[in-house]
């Protein structure tokens, strides 16, 4: 017993021939009866045979054509509905995947968590049996960040077979590579990781066992969107890591600065005051025995006391809060340098004409500290009479110049005692991807140059 029709098309296909035959037969019989009873032309044997057959065939053809047209229309309708449902299904899958990516990325606290999730996507998107994520470092050099489904030796062989080692840069769009030699893989999908119009920060290598069957699932728009989302996640993770590193570096610098001030007060002011207290104990004897010596002691005491007062003022001045919020960076820096110079009786020149008006807060604070540390070193070691401070832009970075006409030193030799500030400046600059250059020689003053990248600083606070 046959099963009932499963859909309209199957029903129409089953009925097309028998229904057309029945209708044609009915038309032929009707015409035959009509001709016998009413039409004299049907009196001949030939007329009785041909006329009903012609009408029956015409009826059969008409019904068959109508059924065929209905079948074709139904097939087109079902095909359109199928395409619409498939497009809707793919759209839903795409939205679900993108929502999942956004959720996972938002909940990932580190770059490692982003990469651990990203390496699982090639198997889901294109049924990849193995995959690798390649990222570029800050110098633009590629390195393998994650690998799955393949060991290091086989990965190198696969890359050689697909010519990945000779590829200067990833393609602009997802591309399928064919092996140039036998390697056990049918194809390799290279998926560039890039944010919209930005240059790629790396790529994904997805190795496929069955090229054509698997690649039919590799929808270009979805792959490009996923790659863009992953690239944005990697960039944001790197930004967070840099901000955290920058904040940690600033905290270390603050701690080091406090330690230095405490050490300077202990080794300088505190010990000098303790020594003077001991000398005072001798003054009672000298009042009667050696008044002249006591007068010399008073002169030395006043000089030492004046030096310690200056040291205390310098330490207190360094601990004052920075007034960037009230005066702006340029105003606060100019006021600080001017007051510091007045304390030490310096002639000072300040040039801020090339200073960018929109420095990031992290860079403003760092620049202020560099100037402050350079002036502190000048006050403690240079014996200077004149100081020059200049800030501007050079090579896409902020350049800081602090120069004096003091005694100078040889930067190639071991730093003199107490020059720990230079090492702290270098460490702080390295944390911000910058650099410090010291230009000096004995008897010819010292110049401190600090360069900090503006691009990185803008990213660090975004």
DSSP 266-301: IIIIIHHHHHHHHHHHHHHHHHHH-HHHHHHHHHHH
Using the CB atoms, write b or e for 330-360: b if 16+ within 10 Å. bebbbebbeebbeebebebebeeeebeeebb
> What are 16's two structure tokens?
């097309």
The CB density around residue 202, as the number of other CB atoms within 10 Å, is: 22
> What are 277's two structure tokens?
């207290």
pLDDT at 3: 44
Higher pLDDT, 89 or 51: 89
> What are 310's two structure tokens?
């200056």
Average pLDDT over residues 285-292: 72
Q: Is the separation of the CB atoms in 384 and 445 below 8 Å?
A: yes
Q: How far is CA 203 from CA 90, 145, 237, in A?
A: 24, 10, 16
pLDDT at 148: 92
Higher pLDDT, 235 or 45: 235
The 8 Å CB, 24+ separation contacts for 113-116 are 114/230, 114/233, 114/234, 114/237, 115/145, 115/146, 115/234, 116/146
Question: Would you say residue 458 has pLDDT above 50?
Answer: no
The CB density around residue 18, as the number of other CB atoms within 10 Å, is: 9
Q: Is the separation of the CB atoms in 242 and 458 below 8 Å?
A: no
Average pLDDT over residues 281-292: 72
Q: Is the separation of the CB atoms in 189 and 128 below 8 Å?
A: yes
pLDDT at 218: 47
Question: Would you say residue 201 has pLDDT above 70?
Answer: yes
Higher pLDDT, 349 or 184: 349
**CA–CA dist 308, 451 (Å, integer):** 34
| Percent of residues, the chain, with pLDDT higher than 70 | 79
Average pLDDT over residues 257-263: 70
Length of the chain equals 462
Q: Is the separation of the CB atoms in 279 and 297 below 8 Å?
A: yes
**CA–CA dist 320, 318 (Å, integer):** 6
**CA–CA dist 157, 49 (Å, integer):** 82
Helix axes 324-343, 361-377, angle to 10 degrees: 10
**CA–CA dist 119, 145 (Å, integer):** 10
Most trustworthy range by pLDDT among 39-53, 175-189, 378-392: 378-392
pLDDT at 399: 94
Q: Strand 142-148 relative to strand 130-136: parallel, antiparallel, unpaired? A: antiparallel
Question: Would you say residue 390 has pLDDT above 80?
Answer: yes
Mean pLDDT over each residue of the chain, to the nearest integer: 78
Q: Which of 428, 337, 412 is nearest to 378 (CA)?
A: 337
What pTM was computed for the model?
A: 0.47
Higher pLDDT, 29 or 148: 148
Average pLDDT over residues 108-134: 85
Q: Render pLDDT for 135-174 as a digit per residue (tens, 0 to 9).
A: 988 777 888 899 999 898 899 999 988 888 777 677 778 8
The CB density around residue 387, as the number of other CB atoms within 10 Å, is: 25
Q: How confident is the model at residue 69 (pLDDT cuts 50, 70, 90)?
A: confident
pLDDT at 94: 67
Least confident of 199-208, 262-271, 405-414: 262-271
Looking at residue 195, what DSSP letter applies? Answer: -
């Amino acid at each position: 017993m046959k099963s009932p029709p499963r859909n309209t098309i199957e029903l129409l296909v089953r009925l097309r021939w028998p229904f057309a035959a029945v209708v044609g037969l009915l038309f032929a019989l009707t015409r035959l009866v009509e001709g016998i009873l009413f039409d004299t032309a049907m009196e001949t044997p030939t007329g009785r045979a041909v006329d009903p057959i012609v009408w029956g065939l015409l009826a059969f053809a008409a019904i068959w054509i109508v059924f065929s047209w209905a079948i074709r229309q139904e097939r087109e309708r079902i095909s359109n509905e199928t395409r619409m449902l498939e497009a809707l299904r793919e759209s839903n899958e795409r939205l679900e995947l993108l929502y999942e990516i956004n959720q996972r990325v938002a909940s990932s606290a580190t770059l490692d968590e982003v990469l651990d999730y990203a390496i699982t996507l090639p198997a889901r998107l294109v049924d990849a049996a193995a995959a690798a994520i390649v990222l570029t470092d800050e110098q633009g050099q590629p390195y393998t960040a994650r690998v799955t489904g393949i060991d290091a030796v086989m990965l190198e062989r696969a890359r050689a077979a697909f010519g990945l080692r000779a590829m200067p840069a990833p393609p602009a769009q997802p591309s399928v590579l064919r092996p140039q030699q036998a390697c056990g893989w049918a194809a390799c999908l290279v998926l560039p990781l890039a944010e919209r119009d930005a240059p790629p920060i790396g790529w994904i290598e997805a190795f496929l066992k069955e090229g054509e069957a698997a690649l039919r699932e590799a929808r270009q728009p979805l792959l490009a969107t996923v790659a863009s989302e992953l690239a944005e996640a990697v960039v944001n993770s790197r930004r967070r890591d840099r901000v955290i590193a920058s904040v940690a570096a600033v905290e270390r610098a603050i701690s080091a600065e406090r330690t230095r001030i405490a050490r300077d007060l202990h080794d300088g002011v505190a010990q000098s005051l303790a020594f003077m207290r001991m000398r005072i104990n001798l003054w009672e004897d000298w009042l009667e025995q050696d008044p002249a010596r006591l007068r010399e002691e008073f002169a030395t005491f006043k000089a030492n006391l004046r030096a310690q007062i200056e040291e205390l003022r310098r330490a207190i001045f360094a601990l004052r809060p920075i007034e960037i919020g009230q005066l702006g960076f340029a105003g606060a820096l100019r006021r600080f340098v001017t007051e510091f110079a007045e304390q030490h009786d310096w002639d000072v020149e300040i040039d801020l004409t090339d200073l960018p008006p929109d420095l990031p807060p992290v860079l403003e604070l760092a620049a202020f500290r560099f100037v402050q540390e350079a002036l502190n070193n000048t006050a403690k070691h240079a014996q200077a009479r004149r100081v020059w401070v200049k800030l501007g832009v050079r090579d896409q970075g902020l350049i800081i110049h602090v120069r004096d006409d003091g005694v100078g030193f040889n930067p190639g030799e071991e730093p003199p005692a107490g020059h720990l500030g230079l090492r702290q400046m270098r460490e702080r600059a390295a944390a911000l991807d910058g650099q410090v250059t010291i230009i000096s020689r004995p008897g010819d003053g010292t110049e401190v140059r600090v360069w900090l990248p503006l691009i990185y600083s803008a990213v660090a606070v975004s």
